[in-house]
Amino acid sequence: MSHNKLEKIKTALISVYHKDKLDAVVRLLDELGITIYSTGGTLDFITGLGIKAQSVESLTGYPSILGGRVKTLHPKVFGGILARRDNAQDTEQLSKYGIPPVDLVIVDLYPFEATVRSGAEAQAIIEKIDIGGISLIRAAAKNFADTLIVSSREQYPALIELLQSGKGATTLAMRRTFAAQAFRQSSYYDAAIFNYFNEQEKLPVFQQCFRDSMSLRYGENPHQEARFYGRLNDMLEQLHGKEISYNNLLDIDAAVALISDFSETTFAILKHNNACGCASAAHPLTAWRKALAGDPVSAFGGVIITNQPVDTESAKEINELFFEVIIAPGYSGKALELLRTKKNRIILVLKNTALPARQFRSLLHGVVQQNRDTAVEMPDDLMPVTTKKPAEKEIPDLLFANKLVKHSKSNAIVLAKDGQLLASGVGQTSRVDALKQAIVKAQTFGFSLQGAVMASDAFFPFPDCVAIAHEAGITAVVQPGGSVNDEKSISYCNEHNMAMVTTGIRHFKH
């Protein structure tokens, strides 16, 4: 069969949940003289437009039964869809049983995901598992050689253009394209249902399906192709700037995860997924200034995020820095005007910080999945293990530093004081190297570490880190604990009047 041969559409079956945008389609089908079969509310909608349509019940001889659960599941419907027009036995049986061939099927599915998101009762969710619709989609898509399947209202403009240009006829190539889109729709729908059930059943199966996607300029490097799968607009709205890149997305993801752990007014600046500056303060401008002071060199070309709307006062100073992306829950009119002065600068509104509960990534020839690290230690989680207890003013700094080290590449050490990141050592092969890196960095930018605190993402296997920290002026330490040599680090702290607390929670990040 030629891929470009036009085949005239004579009969259409329409059964949809969403009626919006359907009127233009059925008017065009009527103009083209195409016989329409329909069901229930869709039939009422079509006839309400003054367009003639026949009920599926008149074809099958059966009414809609079981509260609408069974409407189209009948040989006279599926026979017309699945019959092979070039198969003599099929066409003979159509004639014998009075089954009209169906050349076009327009169907969409019950809103299962939306019902789940609405918080509906379990039975209401079950009723939104489509049976007839998904069967029609699969049948028509399977027989794309003869039948055109339209499985979503988003396809109506393409359908209208196709019907107008072909005067009611389609080619095999066109039908195959629509069939591929239909199977995409059905697989996505089935994956959503499975994952709903698997929240309780916990079957060891990895099944994810993303219907929406966007192309990216390239991957981590210009020679790598890349695409983002998912609904980015559910979380972020882009107000200005160039196309978001793969590396931008990695930094944005890290930034959103970090800021979601802070309730205090906070600014953070990230570079290569790590915070190079971060501060919490009562006033946004103060938080910004302290965050930038942490590492004004690395901040160049970074990603900025805050959990407060950006005001004009802060925007004036932020605008002095070259950066790639800024993310905030909102912007004042003047602030937005200032920030828009650089045409490529990406300005994003963070609608929510609800990241998925599970993370996954490709690894070797498969996929690994884990629960997201959502642990955020509170004051009661800081268990003193030394004779000296942290001073009252050190407690907020220990919690602040512990949040940051959680979001830093391992091995990681964070040094902080007065709600400000003084320096961090990240991604090092030894914890000692991470600490030394942090100390040198803090000193480079003129910070005194006297009275500062230190956070480690994992336990200290030896007392060398607390010894180096003490020599630099660190007075309090937070770490998970759990090493067979914990007592050695604790003893050193006791001997040198340092406070140490453990949390029992490790925060590796690779």
The active-site residue out of 10, 19, 240, 272 is 272
Nearest to residue 228, comparing CAs of 242, 239, 241, 244? 244
Count of residues in the chain? 510
User: Where does residue 367 rank: exposed (0-12), middle (13-18), buried (19+ CB within 10 A)?
Assistant: exposed
Residue 225: C-alpha distances to residues 219, 245, 301, 344, 484 (Å): 5, 11, 23, 21, 46
The active-site residue out of 10, 19, 142, 389 is 142
* Token pair in block for residue 411: 């091995």
**Helical (H) or strand (E) element with 442:** helix 431-444
Nearest to residue 472, comparing CAs of 437, 428, 420, 426? 437
Question: Whole-angstrom Cα distance, residue 176 to residue 144?
Answer: 6
* Token pair in block for residue 308: 């407060």
The verdict on whether 142 is a catalytic residue reads yes
Question: Whole-angstrom Cα distance, residue 445 to residue 114?
Answer: 51
Question: Whole-angstrom Cα distance, residue 215 to residue 255?
Answer: 21
Report H helices in 456-497. 464-472, 486-495
Decide: 260 and 409 in contact? Cβ < 8 Å.
no
- The catalytic residues are 142, 272
